[in-house]
Amino acid sequence: MPHLLQGLHHRIHRALGAACIATVALLAGCGTLPSQEDRPETHSIAPSAQGPLGSAVVPLAQQHPGKTGVVAIDDGHVAFGARIALARAATRSIDIQTFIWHNDATGTLLFDEAMRAAERGVRVRILLDDLNTVGLDPTLALLASQPKLDLRLYNPYAGRSARGLGFLADFTRLNHRMHNKSFTVDNVVAVVGGRNIADEYFEAGADTGLVDLDVIAFGEVVKSVSSEFDLFWNSPSAYPAKKILAGVEPESRQALARRAQTIRDDPTTAKYADAIAHAEVVQRMLAHTLQPEWTTATVVHDDPGKTLSPETRTELLLLPKLMTAFGKPVKSLDIISPYFVPGNAGTEALASLAKQGVQVRVLTNSLAATDEKSVHSGYVKHRKELSQAGVQLFELKPEAAPIMARANEIGRGSKAGLHAKTYAVDGRSIFVGSFNFDPRSARLNTEMGLVIDSPAMASKLHAVVGDAYPSIAYRVTLAEDGSLRWADAGGKVYTTDPETGWLERTFVDIGATLPIEWLL
């Protein structure tokens, strides 16, 4: 009899669960995604020595066969200006892959620039993850209506309203996102890094500026960046925006142009125009005077199958490829990751390296600087074990330099946050890309980046981490009683997370006790 009652209870529970899901789906207006049967498959256009970019880059690359030219960009204004200048120089193609594209000042200007390129005959392909597109549908519908501009939404919401309920109804699928970022022009120049397209990522936000890193690449690796784009573009999760946005009234072309012109004319946003006018890296490229570092670079990325299949084979995931490309650290491992959630396995691996004599150093956001308090809860539970093993932990201050040296351009009351995801091994090679050191990047989202053999860049990163304390970061240490301490530049020592309130700390402490680390 007890077994019968248990079985009945189980069936009732499942039936109620199914009914709840069905109700949520109905409330969310969740339809089904359109068929992909008639979706055309397109690929990157072969590079050419024609046009301003091709004539500048192709001959230079031919002088360095098999090599990649790289230039790092750590200034958000320069990163924004470079994208605008590259788009304006395009004559054949622009391929943009991104996780976020906001309708703010920088986002509007880049929307307008993409339209302008398409209007003059450039083939523009935009692959945009659909998680953060709330309120964008009219603008996206406008872009999708331009004959030379092809927009696809990655892993989209079937229903465009009540997204929160839609997310719950289709949680397993929609919890997997495309976090990749690349900006490739004429298939001869590619920008790869951690920046999304929004004001805060270009240090133009009124409230927050994010410290980030991009690499402009030329030569051999660009074809691999384009191949990665094509793989995701033609994947089952990339849906033509025209089908997803059927019935949406597009924003008028004139309205977008007016919004963009208003931004260009506004004295308070003159820094954007200045960034465009002084995109020195692109101007030097076009003038044939740019001297990048020529080296070996490798694209590492997840397979898009990771989005739909949790059982994606390990060899198709980015993390094992990254570890293979780097090799085992012997002397040093420097990690810059805004969301650092090593988990038990990662903590054990880093602790083991430190105990073997490898200098392991981590620069991540402090609780006061992070924009994701819940993610921070997955980090705090491992701080003590990492410190005990000899891993050096540095936490970025919210008023961190060098970004705050430009605070008058960002806005009063601004704070800095870390967004760069970059790692260096033994002062010889460096990763720049979208991969955070956390379970979400490892298991849920798709990611990409470049592994660059560059002692110069790796040594610079090593120095940045080494110089972080005391100028821009607190150093986390252990007291004699085993509790954590935060050291400041002035010799002040904190016994709790600096510049935070008890409510923030309590929220994070509670989060650290919950079984949610796999989601972070």
DSSP output for 222-234: HHHHHHHHHHHHT
> Is residue 12 one of the residues assigned to a domain?
no
Q: What confidence tens digit (pLDDT) does each residue in 69-102 have?
A: 999 998 888 899 999 999 999 999 999 999 999 9
**Is residue 254 domain-resident?**
yes
Res 255: pLDDT: 98
**Annotated active-site residue in 67, 271, 382, 421:** 421
Peptide bond into 292 cis (omega under 30): no
What is the percentage of the chain residues whose pLDDT exceeds 70? Answer: 89
Residues 326, 200 share a domain: no
Average pLDDT estimate for 207-211: 69
The lowest-confidence range among 42-46, 142-146, 191-195, 369-373 is 369-373
Provide Rg for the chain, Cα atoms: 24
Task: Please confirm, yes or no, whether 77 is among the known catalytic residues.
Answer: no
User: Does 387 reside within a domain?
Assistant: yes
Domain that holds residue 232: 53-156+175-293
Report if residue 161 sits inside a domain.
no
326-336 average pLDDT score? 92
pLDDT tier, 488 (very low <50, low <70, confident <90, very high otherwise): confident
Of the ranges 203-212, 235-244, 289-298, which one carries the lowest mean pLDDT score? Answer: 203-212
Question: Is 426 annotated in the active site?
Answer: yes
334 and 281 in a common domain: no
pLDDT digit string (tens) for 361-411?
999 999 998 888 888 999 999 999 999 999 999 999 887 644 434 333 333
In a shared domain, residues 233 and 127: yes
Q: What's the CA gap between 74 and 83, in Å, rounded?
A: 14
- Please indicate, yes or no, if residue 185 is contained in any of the structural domains: yes
- Please tell me whether residues 345 and 226 are part of one structural domain: no
Predicted pLDDT of residue 80: 93
Report residue 206's pLDDT band, with 50, 70 and 90 as the boundaries. low
Check residue 162 and give its pLDDT.
Answer: 83
pLDDT at 156: 97
Confidence of residue 205 (pLDDT cuts 50, 70, 90): low
Average pLDDT of the chain?
87
User: Are residue 332 and residue 275 in the same domain, yes or no?
Assistant: no
Number of domains making up the chain: 2
Listed as own residue / partner, the contacts of 353-358 with beta carbons closer than 8 Å and 24 or more positions apart are: 353/329, 354/386, 354/389, 354/390, 354/391, 355/389, 355/390, 358/329, 358/330, 358/331, 358/332, 358/333
Q: What pLDDT, on a 0 to 100 scale, did the predictor assign at position 160?
A: 87
Select which of 426, 438, 462, 497 is catalytic. Answer: 426
> Model confidence over 115-132: pLDDT tens digits?
999 999 999 999 999 999
Owner of token pair 């402490």: 509
pLDDT at 278 over 80: no
Judged on CB neighbours under 10 Å (0-12, 13-18, 19+), 91 is middle
Q: Which amino acid is at 269?
A: T
Asked if residue 301 and residue 216 are part of one domain, the reply reads no
Is residue 186 part of the annotated active site? The answer reads yes
Average pLDDT over residues 404-429: 65
SS3 content of the chain, % helix, strand, coil (to 5): 45, 20, 35
Domain boundary among 278, 293, 308: 293
The answer on 327 and 289 residing in a single domain is no
Residues 183 and 308 in one domain: no
pTM of the model: 0.90
Catalytic position from the list 181, 306, 321, 376: 181
Per the annotation, the verdict on 179 as an active-site residue is yes
Task: Give the residue from 231, 262, 293 where a domain finishes.
Answer: 293
User: What's the rounded mean pLDDT across residues 416-433?
Assistant: 90
Top pLDDT among 482 and 276 is at 482
pLDDT for 410: 30
Which residue in the list 170, 186, 334, 497 is annotated as catalytic? 186
Is the domain of 387 the same as that of 491?
Answer: yes
Burial class from Cβ neighbours inside 10 Å (0-12, 13-18, 19+) for residue 412 reads exposed
Active site residue 306: no
**Confidence band for 171, pLDDT divided at 50, 70 and 90:** very high
We report the CATH number of the domain holding residue 196 as: 3.30.870.10
Residues 70 and 454: beta-carbon distance below 8 Å? yes
User: What is the C-alpha separation between 276 and 259, in angstroms, rounded?
Assistant: 17
The answer to whether 213 and 402 have CB atoms below 8 angstroms apart is no
Residue 398 pLDDT: 83
What CA–CA distance (Å, rounded) separates 244 from 12? 36
Q: What is the pLDDT of residue 295?
A: 97
Please identify, among 293, 310, 344, the residue that sits at the C-terminal boundary of a domain: 293
Q: Is residue 25 part of a domain?
A: no
Average pLDDT of the residues in 41-55: 95
74 bridge partner residues: none
Catalytic residue among 75, 419, 438, 462: 419
Among 102, 176, 179, 321, the active-site one is 179
337 shares a domain with 280: no
* Arithmetic mean of pLDDT, 283-290: 88
| pLDDT value, residue 312 | 67
Which residue has better confidence, 22 or 310?
310
**Whether residues 350 and 423 fall in one domain:** yes
Is 176 catalytic? The answer is no
My answer on whether 197 and 134 are in the same domain is yes
